[in-house]
Amino acid sequence: MSTLGSVIAARLQELGMTQNELASALCISKQYMSDIIRGNRHPHDWYFLQEIGAVLHLSQEYMLFLAGILPPDIRDREAIPEQVMEAFHAMRKVLQASSEKGT
């Protein structure tokens, strides 16, 4: 299972970028970035996750998924329990099918 930190670390390597360069681009401390990558910090601020994704060329939806949070446009909607269950079921089905294909 991919974590936010492991995806950031892999993406940094793919882009030839350092943790320090990412921290600088985000105007945060090197220690805070290191803590995120090691899994010691778990950012849940939608805007901050969006900024990380922008620097690393990763979608905001994927960043929010990795952080375990729902985007505001979904979270703020009125929904009945059955709709929420159906939506999560559909997402599980898509993720299961892609893991079976090896993608």
Instruction: Tell me the mean pLDDT in the region 56-85.
Output: 90
Whether 77 shows a pLDDT value over 90: the answer reads no
Instruction: Tell me the mean pLDDT in the region 63-74.
Output: 89
What are the sequence ranges of the domains in the chain? 1-69, 70-103
CB 58 within 8 A of CB 50: no
Quote the Cα angle for 74-43-32, to 5°: 160
Domain spanning 1-69, CATH class: mainly alpha
Binning pLDDT at 50, 70 and 90, where does residue 103 land? low
Residue 87 CB partners (closer than 8 Å, separation 6+): 79
Task: Tell me the percentage of the chain whose pLDDT exceeds 90.
Answer: 70
Predicted confidence at residue 3, as pLDDT, reads 93
- Report which residue type is found at 2: S
CB 4 within 8 A of CB 66: yes
